[in-house]
């Protein structure tokens, strides 16, 4: 018999971190357990009209109580690494200070992962700001960055000897521009100036957390997960090229330039000069933000095809400051259950762009996946061929980037479990494991079985 490792068509590097990802509020439930305080997502989801059908994360996939079973699923799939997030509102006590019972949960989780031979990759902030901190201004308040560093130090003090890699923030673009700009995410506030302010305080929080993690957990690796995108102009007409420049600037360079080059992009500062004077950027902030990281995480779903909107058409609800005259075009071709285009060339291009513009740093695909309306069939099977095709095509694109010299060290499927898809509630299923929200029964989808074979082979098998 041919050993599985030799059967791979596209082989990935030895030691590659084959993983899956989740986030606390999307799976844990148990929102009042063991001293957890409310987060902005509890408040937002409880506000009528904010989430699909009024869904909340109150029960979600009940992972808080079922984590041993879920680690059993990871073992069946053969995961080498598991990316989860730590809920700040579990770790921060009401009124401030540390809630040890919250840390206890993550210690149980991390120890159970290690006992199963799975590397823990922990994200410190996946959008669940303690509501008490929002009540003092949230990410528009500079103090929140300092509170985040205190929290990072407390978590690293407890778990720093056991976590393989830290992600400070998940997708700060979403926290700033959906949370404080367009208002589609918690806390649901609207305004370009405050969104730009929040983006800076999130970056400052990242930099301060890197310092805190280095001090408390000197041996561990530190990274950040960005929803960077491949932004493509719809034509090479000057107005379309300018729209693409601006969206690339706000989605990608606004975060990458401070972290990897120590400065904000001058074109974006000029574009937004009528919205903000950038006075919230204090002397010394950029040096903090540029504290070296060990790797970059990228969450990739689809490319963005952008151009100038037809004259007179105004997108008043855009999350992008100065983006009112920008149109987002559907990419021709198939889409996922979110309506997002399926185009793996965007992942390859993005990985190559990082290397070209920001240097040869280790990179992880910290999220990639697709939602489809999966159901358990009468035979107990969940057939999700569209997800298998999506994952296969994106792994092949990642492999192309590796072949072109990108130092890609791991890949995390979004998501391990069906979960609370933010404003979409439970109407969208991203898991490779199906969750029945009435019974909490988990069923491995075909994609989970397929992924197990990929991991066992060390790459993509022949079709
Ligand atoms: C990720 O974000 C999240 O990290 C994860 O929690 C989530 O479950 C997963 O992806 C699936 O959604 O300009 O207002 O039209 C998703 C990244 C970036 C997708 C912004 C939607 C367009 C928002 N998102 N994008 S808007």
Closest ligand 1 atom number to CA of residue 229: 18
CA atoms within 13 A on the CB side of 31: 20
Q: Whose CA is nearest to atom 26 of ligand 1?
A: 319
Q: Is the CB of 23 under 6 A from ligand 1?
A: yes
CB 289 within 8 A of CB 172: no
CB 358 within 8 A of CB 298: no
Per-residue model confidence (pLDDT) at position 463: 59
- The residue whose CB lies within 8 Å of the most ligand 1 atoms, and thus the one to mutate among 171, 304, 335, is 171
Token pair listed for 314: 């105004």
Closest ligand 1 atom number to CA of residue 178: 14
Distances from the Cα of 408 to the Cαs of 84, 117, 167, 308, 358, in angstroms? 20, 21, 16, 34, 14
Q: Is the CB of 300 under 6 A from ligand 1?
A: no
CA neighbor of 346 nearest in space, from 391, 297, 295, 304: 304
Cα torsion through 385, 343, 21, 260, rounded to 10: 170
Residues facing 408 on adjacent strands: 363
Q: Is the CB of 167 under 6 A from ligand 1?
A: no
Q: How far is the CA of 5 from the centre of ligand 1 (A)?
A: 34
Q: Whose CA is nearest to atom 6 of ligand 1?
A: 23
Q: Is the CB of 336 under 6 A from ligand 1?
A: no
Q: Is the CB of 318 under 6 A from ligand 1?
A: no
Closest ligand 1 atom number to CA of residue 369: 11
Q: Whose CA is nearest to atom 13 of ligand 1?
A: 319
Per-residue model confidence (pLDDT) at position 4: 52
pTM of the predicted model, to two decimals?
Answer: 0.97
Closest ligand 1 atom number to CA of residue 184: 14
CA atoms within 13 A on the CB side of 98: 14
Q: How far is the CA of 402 from the centre of ligand 1 (A)?
A: 25
Q: How far is the CA of 422 from the centre of ligand 1 (A)?
A: 9
Per-residue model confidence (pLDDT) at position 7: 60
Q: Is the CB of 171 under 6 A from ligand 1?
A: yes
Q: Is the CB of 99 under 6 A from ligand 1?
A: no
Q: Is the CB of 43 under 6 A from ligand 1?
A: no
Per-residue model confidence (pLDDT) at position 462: 66
pLDDT digits (tens, 9 = 90+) for 282-316: 999 999 999 999 999 999 999 999 999 999 999 99
CB 124 within 8 A of CB 167: yes
DSSP run (H or E) holding 119: strand 119-125
Alpha-helical runs (H) found in 160-191:
172-173
Residues facing 17 on adjacent strands: 410
Q: Is the CB of 414 under 6 A from ligand 1?
A: yes
Dist. CA 335–CA 253, nearest whole Å: 27
Q: Is the CB of 207 under 6 A from ligand 1?
A: no
Q: How far is the CA of 361 from the centre of ligand 1 (A)?
A: 24
367 as an active site residue: the answer is yes
Dist. CA 222–CA 231, nearest whole Å: 27
Q: Which residue positions in the chain have pLDDT lower than 50?
A: 1, 5
Per-residue model confidence (pLDDT) at position 220: 87
Q: Is the CB of 42 under 6 A from ligand 1?
A: no
Query: Which residue carries 């003092």 as its tokens?
Result: 136
Token pair listed for 128: 């669940």
Per-residue model confidence (pLDDT) at position 461: 76
pLDDT digits (tens, 9 = 90+) for 65-116: 999 999 999 999 999 999 999 999 999 999 999 999 999 999 999 999 999 9
Q: Is the CB of 182 under 6 A from ligand 1?
A: yes
What is the DSSP secondary structure assignment for residue 154, as one 8-state letter? H
CA neighbor of 450 nearest in space, from 378, 400, 377, 389: 389
Catalytic residue among 171, 367, 400, 421: 367
- The residue whose CB lies within 8 Å of the most ligand 1 atoms, and thus the one to mutate among 20, 170, 414, 435, is 414
Dist. CA 340–CA 368, nearest whole Å: 12
CA neighbor of 160 nearest in space, from 203, 207, 200, 212: 212
- The residue whose CB lies within 8 Å of the most ligand 1 atoms, and thus the one to mutate among 52, 128, 301, 347, is 301
Q: How far is the CA of 70 from the centre of ligand 1 (A)?
A: 24
Q: Is the CB of 319 under 6 A from ligand 1?
A: yes
Closest ligand 1 atom number to CA of residue 424: 12
Dist. CA 106–CA 129, nearest whole Å: 17
The pair phi, psi for residue 253, each rounded to 5°, is -70, -30
Dist. CA 248–CA 306, nearest whole Å: 10
Token pair listed for 426: 């439970």
């Amino acid at each position: 018999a041919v050993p599985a490792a030799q059967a791979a068509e596209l082989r990935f590097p030895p030691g590659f971190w084959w993983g899956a990802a989740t986030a606390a509020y999307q799976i844990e439930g148990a929102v009042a357990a063991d001293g957890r305080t409310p987060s902005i997502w509890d408040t937002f989801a409880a506000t009528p009209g904010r989430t699909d059908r009024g869904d909340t994360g109150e029960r979600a996939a009940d992972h808080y109580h079922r984590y041993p079973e879920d680690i059993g699923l990871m073992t069946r799939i053969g995961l080498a690494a598991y990316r989860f997030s730590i809920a700040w509102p579990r770790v921060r006590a009401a009124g401030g200070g540390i809630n040890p019972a919250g840390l206890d949960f993550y210690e149980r989780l991390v120890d159970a992962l290690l006992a199963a031979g799975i590397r823990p990759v922990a994200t410190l902030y996946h959008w669940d700001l303690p509501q008490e901190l929002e009540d003092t201004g949230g990410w528009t308040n500079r103090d929140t960055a300092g509170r985040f560093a205190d929290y990072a130090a407390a978590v690293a003090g407890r778990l720093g000897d056991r976590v393989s890699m830290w992600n400070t923030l998940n997708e700060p673009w979403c926290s700033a521009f959906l949370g404080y700009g367009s208002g589609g995410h918690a806390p649901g506030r609207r305004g370009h100036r405050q969104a730009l302010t929040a983006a800076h305080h999130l970056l400052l929080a990242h930099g301060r957390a890197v310092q805190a993690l280095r001090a408390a957990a000197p041996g561990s690796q530190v990274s950040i997960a960005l929803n960077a995108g491949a932004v493509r102009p719809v034509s090479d007409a000057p107005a379309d090229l300018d729209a693409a420049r601006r969206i690339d600037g706000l989605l990608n360079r606004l975060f990458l330039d401070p972290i990897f080059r120590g400065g904000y992009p001058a074109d974006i500062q000029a574009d937004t000069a009528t919205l903000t004077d950038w006075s919230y950027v204090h002397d010394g902030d950029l040096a903090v933000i540029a504290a070296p990281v060990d790797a970059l995480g990228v969450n990739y779903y689809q490319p963005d095809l952008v151009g100038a909107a037809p004259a007179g058409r105004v997108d008043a609800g855009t999350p992008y400051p100065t983006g009112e005259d920008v149109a987002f075009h559907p990419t021709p071709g198939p889409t996922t259950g979110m309506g997002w285009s399926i185009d793996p060339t965007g992942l390859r291009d993005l990985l190559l762009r990082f290397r070209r513009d920001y240097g040869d740093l280790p990179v992880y695909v910290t999220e990639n996946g697709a939602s489809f309306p999966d159901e358990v069939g009468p035979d107990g099977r969940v057939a999700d061929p569209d997800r298998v095709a999506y994952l296969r095509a994106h792994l092949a694109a990642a492999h192309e980037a590796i072949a072109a010299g990108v130092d890609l060290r791991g890949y995390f499927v979004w998501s391990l479990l069906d979960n609370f898809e933010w404003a979409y509630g439970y109407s969208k299923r991203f898991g490779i494991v199906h969750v029945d929200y009435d019974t909490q029964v988990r069923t491995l989808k075909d994609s989970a079985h397929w992924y197990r074979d990929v991991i066992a082979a060390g790459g993509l098998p022949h079709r």
